[in-house]
Structure 1
Amino acid sequence: MASLIALAQYKSQRAALIAEDRSHRREFRRTNLRSEQEIEADSIVRRIRAAEAETIWKEDHSSIPHPFPGMEFLTGKAIIMKTKLFEILSKMPKGALLHAHLDATVNAEFLLQLAMEQPAIHVRLNEALTPANLSTNLPQFRPLPEAEFSSLSSLTDVSYPLGSWVPLKAARASFAPEFGGPEGFDKWVIGSMTINPSEAYGTHNTVAKIWQKFTSTFITSTGLIRFEPIYSEYIRQFFRSSIDDGILYVEPRINFFPKFMVGADGQDNIPHREWLVMFDRVLKEVKGEMAQQGRGFIGARIIYTTLRFITPEELEWYIEDCMALKKEFPHLIAGFDLVGDENALRPLIDYAEPLLHFREKQKEAGVDIPFIFHAGETLGDGTEADINLYDAILLGTKRIGHGFSLVKHPKLIKTCREKGIAVEVCPISNEILRLTSSMLMHPLPVLLNNGVPVALCSDDPSVFGNMGLTYDYFQVLAASEVNGLSTLGTLARDSIEFSTLNAEEKKEAIVVFERQWNEYIEHIINHWK
């Protein structure tokens, strides 16, 4: 009898210790607010996750010798899409997408289809294509003025003059049979704008190597995206595909480094202001379309970005440009960031003077453009990329992009928790860019257990193949026994709470989200019990 009492006391102490350890988790704080229906739905999802961990993830899969929940995404994606868990999460309301680079948000196949409709788009090669260099000899795209349209018809003919432009349709139609013909052309072009498993886990298996491949995808796609006739439809597809995945609101980062876009006439003559005019027009059209369909869509705002290789002196021009756009489009400009490989490019400290000046100029101009900095997207400890976290926080960043190395800094973790600095965590991006080998090794649980606000994000979905947010939510749920449906709901709510929407807009968005969430809970109970 005494031993039973002692065991009961021990179990009580054990449960109390676990509860205390998890007490900082943000979903723990709303435990008492969960409905009986949400608790039931959570248990259903946990049961399905456990069953699939013992079945589908332990089955033999051709070419996948070591499947497990949370495994490397590009290899495991085929299994993920067969699971009930993925089907359930695909219908989940996701709240807001707070970290995605616009130039990598639309499916590469869709982008190529848009390009094929434009006679102005031409393609060229500077090196002869061979079977051996097919994956590394990348196409270059450019819209040309009508007077410069080319009469050449093939990239792969032995008579092709290297460096010469060929109309896109002609290049596709004449692509040599040894390279796969027109279908091989599509595969080649799409491969140049995406990362495949062998590249991520084989040929480019270090951070430095994979960033080279990653950067090359943008070099290829920019010639297609930054063309006035394509740009509007590209934005439209980004909105629609986000909405289809249950996303209510988006804050894409747009790279304003090039000062002009190519116009319909083939000239570099579309300034930044016109980019926002196009964005605003498409946004209004899509919101009207969604309203007619009775589908919730709160809208979109833009995080203005430029690249970390510019000089501090050059940054001054972009600061002035950002402020001018904010004054004219106050409803669109959400924040400011500097982007690029933190391990290789300039650290934030190099820009401290102009950024501090930027804050003062905002006060003088009566505008508010919060910093939303990438920081800590690195394996380093004490490196410049790691130290970016300190500068981001001291400069007053509203959120932190990636923050992968944040878990190495207890003081910064506490600061983020207490000041409400949310971390835009991009699980699949971090794994493919070789910061972690799987979700089981990702530092996200450290952030969650320390009560740091987190918004799950996709980063560059067209490059990684994680379109929308369902895949990222799946990886986070499948790889943890602690995370449950309530965890995901809290992450989705926090994505709205820590957006740049004003208080009234957030209130409206939360109302829409809560309605969608309750409907989702009912769906799980009715269809998966």
Structure 2
Amino acid sequence: MAEPSFSSIHEYIAKREAFINDERTLRREHARLKACSDVEAQADRIIRKIRKEEALTIWSEESDSIPHIFPGMEFLTSRDIIVKTKLFNILTKMPKGALLHAHLDAMVNTRTLLRLALQQPHMHVRVPSVLNSSSIKTMLPEFSVCPEEEWSSLPSLADASYSPGEWVKIQQARRSFPPELGGPQGFDDWVIGCLTINPAEAYGTHRTTDKIWKKFTDTFRVSIGLIRYQPIWSQYIKEFFLASVEDGISYIEARINFGPKTMFNAEGYNIVPGREWVRIFCRVIREVKQEMKEQGRQDAFLGARIIYSIIRIYTPEEMDWYMEECLALKQEFPDIIAGFDLVGHEDSLYPLTHYLPQLLHFQKRQKELGIHIPFIFHAGETLGDGTPADGNLYDAILLETKRIGHGFSLAKHPKLMDICKTKGIAIEMCPISNEILRLTSSMLMHPLPIIVNHGIPVVLCSDDPAVFGNMGLTFDYFQVLVSSELTGLTTLGQIARDSIEYSTLDYETKSKALAVWEKRWHEFCKEVVALGT
């Protein structure tokens, strides 16, 4: 008979605690836990207490409309519950640092976008056939602006005389929306439904990744005609920045899809090139900074940069053109162009290897020009294991990506996780996006804890909140916090700190941004402690 491994229960418990603590030293907040201030430690305990209380009360109640309620459950079903919790309302005040994974075409509340569009006399809408109670269920509107000499006098999208594909002024289309379709409010609801994903779609009719991505892509087909119009573009960006500031985000790296090459000018002509988009972006940064300064809140918004992005649908030859434009924009706007990315559904579109000659040439051209545009690749946003989408992780790392967008399948690759930890490649994790796009059924099944427990830097991101309804970053922070007994306020603080640390800001600017964040974090922790006393 073998000798017992432990001489007593006390020895076993002591070794067990040491064993657990040894593993937890891998987490990035471990050092912070030892060094954190008394006020942060108190705030962390208070947040844990509130989480426990709400798990036993709010998240254990029976509901006729929601048969299964639990913290970290499906976001679209639980959103109305989340916003009523004490924990969520505390997190709205948390300084969140930087938002590093944000697709500009889906960053403003859809009702705000529609309101902006209804103010524009040039804005028109069309549909492929006459709208009625049957066709409206699947019909997508297409929006665009027309120069004044081409303005339409057609009365309605739902009139029997409507010619399929003809443009109708958006204000007229809304006014004339028939009562049986809900009138003007029915028009609004129809458009909003085409710009967003609802629970029935995410968890019922479109529950596979391919089906939900079809719906997801359709929302951009609708929104592009509303956003890519110069008068709306500037207002849209400003709405995005101001809403982010109110949610505690102080710095942004926005992915802009430069695929369309031009947008419409104020008079309705499609002639505005990418350099003007960037120029407007810069102007809005200055305007928001000035507004914050006038309010005595200059630390609330530290600026924004652009990650030049292209969807993975173009030929390698076409990609050459976009890469040259990116290089030209970097030379003209060196402080604004932060990186380069290829975006879109990895499972169905081209992998990184499809563009390998172009990507290598892009790096060579940078050396020739004396500039640096880091790759910040989407990679591993897939359920696949060994598929081309999963393989994008290898190529992203070999091509020296600064960060990895999503990295959902990274947890399947121990070697790649070690490399990310060693090289400091942060993972831009978008938990709510991943759940709604059916990579996971709930936050409790998300691989984020695996990545965090390996000591890999993680930054939380909202991805496309206009489509998902997770505006700002508070919702994503909430879902992560309530889904783990191990994660506390100190963990969230480390994630926020890393969002600045792993941004593309230069060393001096980053140091100042971190100092500003630390000050705001200390004040926030004091507020949490005051709530709990």
Question: Which TM class, normalised by the smaller chain length?
Answer: over 0.9
Alpha-carbon offset, residue 30 of structure 1: 1.7
Partner residue in 2 for 1:305: 309
Would you say the 8 A contact 1:69–1:479 is kept in 2? yes
Structure 2 alignment gaps of length 5 or more? 1-5
Local SS of the residue matching 1:520: helix
Local SS of the residue matching 1:99: strand
Structure 2 residue corresponding to 1:200, chosen from 196, 199, 202: 202
Q: Distance in 2 between matches of 1:46 and 1:501?
A: 33
Structure 1 residue corresponding to 2:525, chosen from 503, 507, 521: 521
Alpha-carbon offset, residue 62 of structure 1: 4.0
Q: Does 2:197 correspond to 1:213?
A: no
Whichever residue aligns with residue 320 of structure 1, its letter is: E
Partner residue in 1 for 2:443: 439
Structure 1 residue corresponding to 2:486, chosen from 482, 485, 506: 482
Would you say the 8 A contact 1:135–1:191 is kept in 2? no
Partner residue in 2 for 1:462: 466
Would you say the 8 A contact 2:129–2:163 is kept in 1? no
Whichever residue aligns with residue 471 of structure 1, its letter is: F
Alpha-carbon offset, residue 88 of structure 1: 0.7
Alignment of 1:270-309 (within 5 A): 270-295=272-297, 296=299, 297-309=301-313
Would you say the 8 A contact 2:130–2:163 is kept in 1? no
Alignment of 1:65-84 (within 5 A): 65-84=67-86
Structure 1 alignment gaps of length 5 or more? none
Local SS of the residue matching 2:162: coil
Partner residue in 1 for 2:11: 9
Q: Deviations over 1:341-364 (max 9, x none)?
A: 000000001111110111111011
Alignment of 1:45-124 (within 5 A): 45-124=47-126
Q: Deviations over 1:382-414 (max 9, x none)?
A: 000000000000001000000000000000000
Alpha-carbon offset, residue 21 of structure 1: 1.3
Q: Distance in 1 between matches of 2:415 and 2:31?
A: 22
Alpha-carbon offset, residue 6 of structure 1: 2.2
Would you say the 8 A contact 2:307–2:338 is kept in 1? yes
Q: Distance in 1 between matches of 2:92 and 2:207?
A: 30
Partner residue in 2 for 1:501: 505
Q: Distance in 1 between matches of 2:253 and 2:526?
A: 29
Q: Distance in 2 between matches of 1:57 and 1:256?
A: 43
Q: Deviations over 1:217-267 (max 9, x none)?
A: 000000000000100000000000000000010001000001101111211
Give the structure-2-normalised TM-score: 0.98
Alpha-carbon offset, residue 128 of structure 1: 2.4
Runs of 4+, deviation exceeding 3 Å: none
Whichever residue aligns with residue 502 of structure 1, its letter is: D
Change (3 A) 1:132 1:62: farther
Q: Does 2:254 correspond to 1:252?
A: yes
Q: Distance in 2 between matches of 1:11 and 1:240?
A: 52
Q: Distance in 2 between matches of 1:156 and 1:190?
A: 18
Q: Does 2:353 correspond to 1:349?
A: yes
Alignment of 1:205-244 (within 5 A): 205-244=207-246
Q: Deviations over 1:131-184 (max 9, x none)?
A: 233232011101001000001121112222221111101110110111111011
Alignment of 1:382-393 (within 5 A): 382-393=386-397
Alpha-carbon offset, residue 5 of structure 1: 8.3
Q: Distance in 2 between matches of 1:346 and 1:528?
A: 52
How many residues are paired up?
526
Give the structure-1-normalised TM-score: 0.98
Q: Distance in 2 between matches of 1:503 and 1:282?
A: 24
Would you say the 8 A contact 2:144–2:226 is kept in 1? yes
Local SS of the residue matching 2:152: coil
Partner residue in 1 for 2:3: none
Q: Deviations over 1:81-114 (max 9, x none)?
A: 1111101111100000000100000000000000
Alpha-carbon offset, residue 7 of structure 1: 2.4
Q: Does 2:385 correspond to 1:381?
A: yes
Alpha-carbon offset, residue 29 of structure 1: 2.1
Q: Distance in 1 between matches of 2:31 and 2:467?
A: 36
Structure 2 residue corresponding to 1:315, chosen from 301, 312, 319: 319
Q: Distance in 1 between matches of 2:146 and 2:65?
A: 43
Would you say the 8 A contact 2:433–2:464 is kept in 1? yes
Alpha-carbon offset, residue 115 of structure 1: 0.3
Local SS of the residue matching 2:135: coil
Whichever residue aligns with residue 301 of structure 1, its letter is: R
Q: Does 2:424 correspond to 1:424?
A: no
Local SS of the residue matching 1:26: coil
Please, what is the CA RMSD of the aligned residues?
A: 1.0
Q: Deviations over 1:26-84 (max 9, x none)?
A: 00122222111111111100010001001011113341110100000000101101111
Alignment of 1:182-193 (within 5 A): 182-193=184-195
Whichever residue aligns with residue 174 of structure 1, its letter is: S
Alignment of 1:130-149 (within 5 A): 130-149=132-151
Aligned residues with identical type, % of pairs: 61
Alpha-carbon offset, residue 421 of structure 1: 0.2
Whichever residue aligns with residue 458 of structure 1, its letter is: S
Partner residue in 1 for 2:160: 158
Local SS of the residue matching 1:30: helix
